[in-house]
Structure 1
């Protein structure tokens, strides 16, 4: 140990990945190559698990002397770390959950980048091929279980939330855990950590020894939202679109807590899918919930959805305020509805094959200024298509707020320009301003400079 916040270590894997080919070693060891840079960034995020920053560049600057090297030995792979964040260690020994997640990063980068050659191998891929890819990535991560009934509750919500909102997410997670339900989140802090923390206590009370705390992230967001240490299954999906598809394929129901642009993106994603005619009869329990202090937040979200997507979209979810028990009961009943539907249609419990996801929600959207400017934010199209482009607009704002490449684009070219129908943009602008006023765009204590302009002339 060099000092109290830096550690040198040689770390062996635990279960996730123990052998590499010479070709894989060469790709990940090439310091000028994209694989090494990607692995370095993701590994630093895992090791920096105690951070309260959502600025990936600030983290990179703070640990600019951090180094990681893969060591191939006769008995397997080890990682040589130099100047690693001390928060990942106790008395010089790496915390077990951090070690597991560190090798999950190595596993997923090798499998997705090397095996699938994502940059070139999926251009113009069909919807079915992309769905199968998501399945294979989750299977490779050993996510799937043999279960008698659906039990995975996806929890969405912001990383920047008030303390009373965080405490409420824990209470909801506790009630879900008491009903022997498992938790999947984006794996970061805030509303992604709280439900897992509550569920761990409930699972202990129920003597549930195999509770699942599944975290799904992607390289662009992991540095800004380091995984919380409760996660016991971590999967790094290649991009936000495949991450979102993994949520709805592996999950059986969704609970949405207060959040900002990223949460709005997730809401628009699931509503856009559920609004497609092919999913009309498919049960997918969806609840928006928060403490009484957050009631106005959900009123804003509900009104925005009604104004831009209509009453049918509003019918796809329930809003439950200050009642964690009711949320858990609704989810538990929803699991029985999902079970009966999948049995009747002979669909798997562990992967939602029957859910139809249009290609507009599957292909990666690159948030460049030109692409954002071209978004079709007008009412003269099918509702699920409008939801798809609204999702892309919010995804661009997330990129401009916290993702390294998006932040760099904003710094070089200025804010993204969002164009479209004047009435629609007025509603969008009001919602975004509410997020800013409520400090939902960045962690409290850091001034927010908008990365977007809503152009309504």
Structure 2
């Protein structure tokens, strides 16, 4: 990535961040706490690169090595001084409003995670403690709004999709928006942008004010997939597991579009949770969809689920090909069932407390070479536990593809090795090879993809 024009600027929040204490400002300064400062610097740089067609965190960081953020205390709160910032984030010297909102959302989430939540002493060794932690993060970001009926549709899919698939996601988003449904995505490009873009037009047609375009991300992802400018609520969770739990706690239904390793990771996470015995009666509409040209991809993903997790796993979702209106109709019907279920059991509309998530889906997975090689991908495992380990395998591939730490590990030690039973490894290898052939591992137009993994049976 060639270095672009840069600018020096100062920017203050507009009602988007509470007043910071002197201790918090000091902790965020480079001298006060290098780790917190570097985390915020990395997230800030990604946000300022919104719209850049790059999916490699290391590339962005290397292109702006002299970028700095200085945090100043003032009577009215906090002011950021940006040095050598990407000039595309500004118009006539003033930061674009959506970029400024997201920049201070990042500051808010990092401050709260590192300071206030640390003081509350959550039991992060227990499943309920982790869920409570996710709840507090979302509540602090003002994402949880009591009284709103279930209408938040999560859309998952790839950042590296072709034009036809992207246009299809916009059509689905438009159909959802006409039904006055809100959109939640991973906040980046591709499938994370298309449904939001379609919904904005539909909401305008319905003269609907206050449409929600919620983006949930985490530090390792945001550096590679900068938020798209349609996002009007951004939340940065501490790690991928808490991000995934946030999706299924605030979302009322999920639509899965074509994607790559990251989409497979999300899909397996969801299936593993829904297949838990305690969740069998809980309504949670899940639809796989894409244009007709993506039918083979969806069929292959469906076949992979059947071959690895069993035929029962295929009953937790529907596949709809090339019919955006039917996708939206089915989702709207599914949300009515969610509404009835939660009313009958007095569960909150804004946070799915009744959903059982085992700790194997909650604890962060560190994709080192040793941990990737130790994954127990065994046919004899209970299906929901096998789904948890398959999810970890795909999480490691995502790290090796786009996350700064993962990329550097691969450069140092070579590709990850993934071990398991032949009955698991063969369909896994076939699926990953299809992702490579369909250019679903990286943004199109870049260098040829070099696998960060090796499948061993």
Scaled by the length of structure 1, what TM-score is found? 0.97
Contact map agreement 1:287 1:320 (CA 8 A) in 2: yes
* CA distance in structure 2 between the aligned counterparts of 1:61 and 1:273, rounded to whole angstroms: 38
* CA distance in structure 2 between the aligned counterparts of 1:165 and 1:122, rounded to whole angstroms: 42
| Equivalent residues, number | 453
Contact map agreement 1:415 1:451 (CA 8 A) in 2: yes
What are the Cα deviations for residues 271-314 of structure 1, in whole angstroms up to 9, with x where unaligned?
00000000000000000000000000001000000000111110
Superposition CA RMSD, Å: 1.5
Match of 2:355?
A: 355
Match of 2:113?
A: 112
> Secondary structure of 1:304's partner?
helix
Contact map agreement 1:14 1:103 (CA 8 A) in 2: no
* CA distance in structure 1 between the aligned counterparts of 2:425 and 2:121, rounded to whole angstroms: 36
Match of 1:204?
A: 204
* CA distance in structure 2 between the aligned counterparts of 1:361 and 1:188, rounded to whole angstroms: 23
> Secondary structure of 1:72's partner?
strand
Structure 1 residue 4: Cα displacement = 7.9
Structure 1 residue 130: Cα displacement = 0.4
Match of 2:14?
A: 14
What are the Cα deviations for residues 193-231 of structure 1, in whole angstroms up to 9, with x where unaligned?
000000000000001111000000000110110000100
Match of 2:261?
A: 261
* CA distance in structure 1 between the aligned counterparts of 2:24 and 2:267, rounded to whole angstroms: 38
Match of 2:59?
A: 58
Q: How does 1:219-234 map to 2 (within 5 A)?
A: 219-234=219-234
Structure 1 residue 124: Cα displacement = 5.5
Structure 1 residue 114: Cα displacement = 2.1
Structure 1 residue 232: Cα displacement = 0.3
What are the Cα deviations for residues 245-291 of structure 1, in whole angstroms up to 9, with x where unaligned?
00000000000000000000000000000000000000000000000
Contact map agreement 2:377 2:389 (CA 8 A) in 1: yes
Match of 1:98?
A: 99
Task: State yes or no: 1:330 paired with 2:339.
Answer: no
> Secondary structure of 1:53's partner?
coil
Scaled by the length of structure 2, what TM-score is found? 0.97
Structure 2 residue ranges without an equivalent (≥5):
none
> Secondary structure of 2:214's partner?
strand
Structure 1 residue ranges without an equivalent (≥5):
none
Contact map agreement 2:122 2:133 (CA 8 A) in 1: no
Contact map agreement 1:71 1:80 (CA 8 A) in 2: yes
Residues 270 and 209 from structure 1, CA distance in 2 versus in 1: closer, same or farther, beyond 3 angstroms?
same
Match of 1:389?
A: 389
What are the Cα deviations for residues 134-161 of structure 1, in whole angstroms up to 9, with x where unaligned?
0000000000123342000000000000
* CA distance in structure 2 between the aligned counterparts of 1:298 and 1:147, rounded to whole angstroms: 36
* CA distance in structure 2 between the aligned counterparts of 1:73 and 1:274, rounded to whole angstroms: 48
Contact map agreement 2:148 2:350 (CA 8 A) in 1: no
Q: Which stretch shows the higher mean deviation, 27-36 or 417-426?
A: 27-36
